[in-house]
Chain A
Amino acid sequence: MAKTPTDLLYGTLNVLVLKTLSWKPMHGYAISNWLRQRSGGTLDVDDAALYKSLHRLEELGSIESEWGMSENNRRAKYYRLTALGRRQLRDERAAFHDFALAVTRVLRTV
């Protein structure tokens, strides 16, 4: 499978999923599309990894799921952020900023 140069760092996908769901409850397919569009195609998310992340986050209690009807009237599993997930997103976003800043700083010095 072809990987983009920006292969996702471990744990990053989870933050992205939380961020995506912070807009509104979505099913997996919508999340996949949303991530592709927002990253401008840079982040070619592996759907298998996305679903693993969703189910893992649900087990951890960051998100919860519910079956509902999709735009084209099919049963689809919708995920939504829990209070815990919202808190996690806030913490991890800050942590990621610090991390990205640090990396950028190191890269600049070269």
Chain B
Amino acid sequence: MFEDVNILSLIIILPVIGAILLSIFKVSDRSIKLIAATFTGITFALAIAMFADYDRSGGGMQFVEQYTWIESIDVQYYLGVDGLSAPMALLTAFLGFLCVFISWNITNRVREYFAWLLVLETSILGVFCSLDMVLFFIFWEIELIPMYFLIAVWGTEPPLGRREYSAVKYLLYTLLGSAGLLAGILTAYFEMGTWDMTQMGGLAVGLSLGMQTLIFFLIFFCFCVKLPMFPFHTWLPDAHTDAPTAGSVMLAGVLIKMGGYGMIRLVSIFPDVAKEYGWILVIMGIVGVLYGAAATLRQTDLKRLIAYSSVSHMGYVLLGIFALDKISISGAALQLFSHGVVTGLLFAMVGVVYGKTHERRIPYLGGLARQMPIACLIFSIAGLASLGLPLTSGFAAEFLIFTGSFKSTAVAGIEVYTILGIIGIVLTAGYILWMIERVFYQEPREQFDQLSDATVMERGVIFSLVIAIMVVGIFPNVLTDIIGKSVEPIMASLGL
């Protein structure tokens, strides 16, 4: 269907064209939002078409576009998606589209806001579609700037938040990670003579294990800051908490997933290093799960609570990836998608609640179920998906991770780690249910009597996210099929 069209380029470039149009033409705020919705909408439609057209039986890299870009240093404009990146690209386009509607009530510097939001979408799509390391790095870095501004300008105002502090913290952490990534890919280029991710896997075997380890950890450092892995997670609660709702949705939904996605690619390039040091990363994952969950229990700010729960859930991704089992890696990839939708929904729900009550501190909320039954219902569904209730996407992902890692042969003592990880689920149930109880039940408060429920537009957004959660929960094959196809070559290179 798309033989003659560079569909990936089109998907990547459309949002930024929207951003350029927005910044050139002075139009009314309403038209700005409509333009943003149009461009993200077309992008989303194209992403669906791309995903539907992806040849599931064939697997491998598809919709490949390869052109020489910077001749003197062999850099290519090289795009393509496989079973790992196609779902993430779809998710990015989906959330990008919804974020326009989530941001419908923005009134401050509207033009800039939507322009940055669109640039952000382009950069994340670019990360997931790039197959050339330099191109990957470039998109990885571009994403910083819009996110910095989204947090710093439209974030939570003092005294409730510290938006400028959080924005700079986010910027510096990510740049520090990028420093490792740049050093890593440069070293990799000179050792292997290519920036091409798809070829690196075959060439890396020729290097000494020491060199492989060096490159692996230089690059891994970048991804583990992004994911984030304990103890590099401290930027995340600040950034998520102080970002505007759409910013939080993009951050938690797809931005941090770039880290997990990168790790899976890294394992496919350096399987030997992954086998050698996987156990350390599994332990770090479990520490993250338990520490994150324990920290979540103590949070009193709604957004901070969900942010910390991300730290915990990303621990599962680490566990799944570095258990180095086919099922567990597929589970980790599915978890990336699932957590994106679920946390996106959770943050959208916080946005709905905050929009009505202007309050995020849990002790000052309560009894909202009476005024906001729909919000309460959807928040509960999101919470249950987050703790992995069957029929939700969270269950499918976590079930795959646990079954896969439990029987994994690559890491000694993995059974113990897996069981410790499962304890994390219990903690998750604890903080999610406790949070819902404190926010929506308990004694109703007088000052909230006049509140209305979610508006029609908000309902549209949150229902579509619920549908996505349910579809993946009930038919995980939609994704696991193609993810599994792309995990197979990784398993082959691992020799497991």
A binds B: no
